[in-house]
Structure 1
Amino acid sequence: MTIARMHLVDAHTTGTYHVASRCVRRAWLCGRDPVTGSDFSHRKRWIEERIVALAAQFAVAIYAYAVMSNHVHLVVRTDPEAAQRWDAETVLRRWFAVSPRKHDTGETLRQRIDVSIGNEAQIAEYRSRLGSLSWFMRALNESVARAANTEDGCKGRFWEGRFRCQALLDDSAVLSAMTYVDLNPLRARVVDTPEAAQNVSFRQRFDAMKHAKALDRPLQPIAGDGPLCGVSEVEYLKLVDETGRLIRGDKPGAIDRSLPGIVRRLGLSESAWLGQVQGTQTRYWRVIGQVESFIDKATELQQRWLQGLAFARRLRATVSVA
């Protein structure tokens, strides 16, 4: 049964989600076109910069992202309750940064704020948008589409329909989705190691680890504020690295069949962890999590079944026999 986005993403409470948008028109709109030879790789940087810029304005934290040749993955945490605590001027400043005027009227930011500061209905609408996952994705996708269409000298859709969204119900779901996203270039055989990838959040984390003071700090969002799972930056990097070695089992000498202790702390076996990461888009549909989280979400949605529940039960069984 199809789940309406409004039921999956609560507009009023904090939630963590894996989202993905895919390009249309050609297979390589963000990379090298194999037919014409044109290179559109610079667009990946557009998207990456826009993600970070929007996270600074929305009540959204970016946990992971991967900008690929024809699609984009994000793991995000929305906090609409934080937006409700912002005063009117903060809301207006943030929204005007997200949505500048299409035409230069000569009006300063201060003048725009002064004109709108007494419009309570408008401010309430902007506040709601700044805490919304849908509006965040709209602001990301529309700006990139406009820039790409201008460069191509054409009109029309750049992105394929609405973005796909999966609710991440617990820490294991969040970490497995982050790992799945950070390993996208490795799975696509674009790179041989996770840290070699460009335009991926793992690269940012890896580069930051060159500073010794970052080794044991708690895992932080790439952009925006908000708590993350109770692991350190170095534990997460090890987790991604070892998971990548298991996924790329075709590489001689590259497999180390031991994953960091974080996997056990999440209540998973190594095989269950790998199954959850690899099953992110193939085994689950609208939600990802362990069995209890699935049951709670199904009850909340007043449904008897959610796709992925049977798979979650099989993963639990592998833990029981491990």
Structure 2
Amino acid sequence: MPKARKTIVSVQDTPFYHCVSRCVRRAFLCGIDRYTGVNYEHRRKWVESRLLELAEVFAIDVCAYAVMTNHLHVVLRIDAELVKAWSGEEVITQWHKLFSGSLLSQRFVKGDKLNQWEKKLLEIQVVEYRHRLSDISWFMRALNEPVARMANKEDGCKGRFWEGRFKSQALLDEAAILSCMAYVDLNPIRAQIAKTPEQSDFTSIKRRIKAALNNEQPEELLPFVGNERLNMPNGLTFSVEDYLVLVEETGCCIREDKCGSIKQSLHILERLNLPTKNWLKLCNEFGKLFKGAAGNLQSLSTYCERLKRCRRQGAANAKRWFETKNAIG
């Protein structure tokens, strides 16, 4: 039986989550339908544009994404400190970028004078909006609903376009976050719809590579900020150069028609202390290995205890594939 989101999301344990949305009724998110010959490739742009737009509104960062033929992968990070720092006016402004809000919030934005009762009611609404702006369910809802409406209109039909609920899994440690990001970024290569990461259209890895050529990082994605240090900016605590090389070399190993190897001295794998074979397994089969939360056994146990779960789903794979070199030796 599906679990309520509040029993899955635990920001105390991790702000990182991998979400997947799939189409129903053999519907095409994008690509070419081989039965009808209709090309739905333009829908990729719908999804990517909406996804990056939402990253500017919600207190949620996009770490990685891949728009596939009939499903969407996205790795998100909840920025709890950012949403707390927003003033009531900023919360309303952000909310109105996507939704009409209430009559009270509209009056407030126009500068109308509110009485005491109306101010208290507006404060309650601000609390709700603040919560929603850092809620993954609201983020995915704001992403999926407009795409479904446009697709249904284009297909001339009604009913569900997406499955009833999107899949969400917590990423509990650095190894889980990086391997899941690489798994998402390499989706087009595994599906054989792209030969290299830079040719993977409508993916985060192509966007990162394009920016890296200009010695920049894409503003729409959570940046890599290097190793941990004092006064560290928000971002992923790895080098963007190391990550791009790691994804490229991992892609070479995944492709059967290409020979490649991952250097043992690569900085990220050294820091994660993961054997190369484990890394390749995780990047190639992450979605099969972990149906729920992913991370090492200790982080998975802590996560389950905090959420009062009796069963640690995926414990065997967590122990086997997130096991460190030292533990193996």
TM-score tier (shorter)? 0.7 to 0.9
Residue 35 of structure 1 deviates from its aligned partner by 1.2
Which has the larger displacement, 72-81 or 296-305? 296-305
Three-state SS of the structure 2 residue aligned to 1:28 is coil
Match of 1:196 in 2: 199
Match of 1:255 in 2: 260
Q: CA offsets, 1:271-293, max 9 Å, x none?
A: 11112223321111211111221
TM-score normalised by the chain length of structure 1: 0.87
Three-state SS of the structure 1 residue aligned to 2:288 is coil
In 2: Cα distance, 1:306 partner to 1:165 partner: 16
Match of 1:159 in 2: 162
* Preserved contact between residue 221 and residue 228 of structure 1 (Cα < 8 Å): no
Where in structure 2 are the equivalents of 1:1-322 lying within 5 Å?
3-10=3-10, 15-100=15-100, 112-114=109-111, 118=119, 119-211=122-214, 213-214=215-216, 222=221, 227-248=234-255, 250-252=256-258, 254-258=259-263, 260-315=266-321, 319=325, 320-321=327-328
Q: Which amino acid aligns with 1:294?
A: L
Decide whether aligned partners of structure 1 residues 228 and 308 sit closer, same or farther in structure 2, where only a CA change above 3 A counts: farther
Q: CA offsets, 1:30-84, max 9 Å, x none?
A: 2211111111111110100000101101000000000111100000001234222
* Preserved contact between residue 14 and residue 81 of structure 1 (Cα < 8 Å): no
Residue 158 of structure 1 deviates from its aligned partner by 1.0
* Preserved contact between residue 61 and residue 78 of structure 1 (Cα < 8 Å): yes
- Count of equivalent residues: 311
* Preserved contact between residue 13 and residue 303 of structure 2 (Cα < 8 Å): no
* Preserved contact between residue 223 and residue 236 of structure 2 (Cα < 8 Å): no
Three-state SS of the structure 1 residue aligned to 2:19 is strand
Decide whether aligned partners of structure 1 residues 142 and 38 sit closer, same or farther in structure 2, where only a CA change above 3 A counts: same
In 2: Cα distance, 1:274 partner to 1:229 partner: 21
Residue 256 of structure 1 deviates from its aligned partner by 2.2
Unaligned runs of 5+ in 2: 225-232
In 2: Cα distance, 1:124 partner to 1:316 partner: 39
Q: Which amino acid aligns with 1:222?
A: L
Decide whether aligned partners of structure 1 residues 257 and 59 sit closer, same or farther in structure 2, where only a CA change above 3 A counts: closer
In 2: Cα distance, 1:28 partner to 1:49 partner: 18
Moved over 4 A (4+): 11-14, 109-113, 223-226
Three-state SS of the structure 2 residue aligned to 1:98 is coil
* Preserved contact between residue 20 and residue 71 of structure 1 (Cα < 8 Å): yes
Three-state SS of the structure 2 residue aligned to 1:279 is helix
Q: CA offsets, 1:254-283, max 9 Å, x none?
A: 222425221121021101111222332111
Q: CA offsets, 1:150-181, max 9 Å, x none?
A: 22222211101100001000111110110000
Decide whether aligned partners of structure 1 residues 151 and 196 sit closer, same or farther in structure 2, where only a CA change above 3 A counts: same
In 1: Cα distance, 2:219 partner to 2:175 partner: 16
Give the share of equivalent positions with the same residue, in percent. 41
In 2: Cα distance, 1:220 partner to 1:173 partner: 24
Q: Which amino acid aligns with 2:158?
A: K
Decide whether aligned partners of structure 1 residues 100 and 290 sit closer, same or farther in structure 2, where only a CA change above 3 A counts: same
Residue 110 of structure 1 deviates from its aligned partner by 7.8
Indicate the RMSD between aligned Cα atoms, in angstroms: 2.8
Q: CA offsets, 1:242-264, max 9 Å, x none?
A: 1111111x214x22242522112
Unaligned runs of 5+ in 1: 102-108
In 1: Cα distance, 2:155 partner to 2:302 partner: 47
Which has the larger displacement, 261-270 or 12-21? 12-21
In 1: Cα distance, 2:166 partner to 2:285 partner: 19
Three-state SS of the structure 2 residue aligned to 1:65 is strand
Residue 29 of structure 1 deviates from its aligned partner by 3.4
Residue 120 of structure 1 deviates from its aligned partner by 1.4
Three-state SS of the structure 1 residue aligned to 2:48 is helix
